Amino acid sequence: MINIGGAGTITVDGRVYQVGFKEAMYIGMGSKDIVFASADAQNPAKFYLNSAPAHRTCSTVLIKPEGTPEEGVVIVKDENKVELGCLEDANHRVICKYILPGQVESCQLEMGMTKLEPGSVWNTMPCHTNDRRMEVYLYFEMPEDAFVMHYMGEPGETRHIVMRNEEAVISPSWSIHSGCGSRAYTFIWGMVGENQDFDDMDGVANKDLR
């Protein structure tokens, strides 16, 4: 899960983790007693969860984009903070990969966050499909009157869904998943499937979209 609200705590089998804004946790299979709480009821934590079946137990860890490593805490590696796109193509963005092999071990799940830079509105463009994984997006950091046109469907026959702040959408493996907003925003992506190779995707040329 990733916290998109105020500071909070997650207690896992008696151990308390302090989880701030845009910090995350991976909780491994077999954890029994999990309690979520906000530090301030006036500014509540908002824990956004992705869950997937697991066949083995992986370590429970707190994940932070920045900071100092300590027991039970993983800091996102510099190589997992990737800058892509450009302002000229309206897709300048920074991808922060939280859960993936080599950083936080899991059975199936991969999870991270992409923040668009001011002036950019397109995410995941040029788009692609993940024939071996499904993916879910959660859009946030948008004012009330802003929106994202989230595009789905086969490349030759796309459809769109209007997404508002803190709404999520699931894309099946055969579908593209890309969005264009009325202004810059942030989104959380989560993937589940038969492998965890982040770059295992089938690109779609812009000229082939319909």
In DSSP notation, 42-69 reads TS---EE------SS----EEEESSS--
The answer, yes or no, to whether residue 194 has pLDDT greater than 90, is: no
Residues 6+ positions from 197 with CB-CB distance below 8 Å? none
The answer, yes or no, to whether residue 59 has pLDDT greater than 90, is: yes
Cα 147 to Cα 23, 73, 159, 185: the distances in Å are 24, 34, 16, 9
pLDDT averaged over every residue in the chain? 95
Confidence of residue 193 (pLDDT cuts 50, 70, 90): confident
Query: 20, 16, 18, 17: which is closest to 5 by C-alpha?
Result: 20
Domain limits for position 32: 2-208
Number of domains in the chain: 1
Ramachandran region, residue 153 (left: φ > 0; alpha: ψ -120 to 50; beta: rest): left
- Cα separation, 192 vs 198, in Å, equals 11
Q: Using one digit for the tens of pLDDT, what is the confidence trace for 149-171?
A: 999 999 999 999 999 999 999 99
Higher pLDDT, 198 or 119: 119
Predicted pLDDT of residue 167: 98
Predicted pLDDT of residue 131: 86
Identify the bridge partners of residue 193 per DSSP, sorted by sequence position: 133
The answer, yes or no, to whether residue 143 has pLDDT greater than 90, is: yes
Which CATH number characterizes residue 162's domain? 2.60.120.10
- Mean pLDDT over 18-41 rounds to 97
In this structure, what token pair is assigned to residue 68?
């100092």
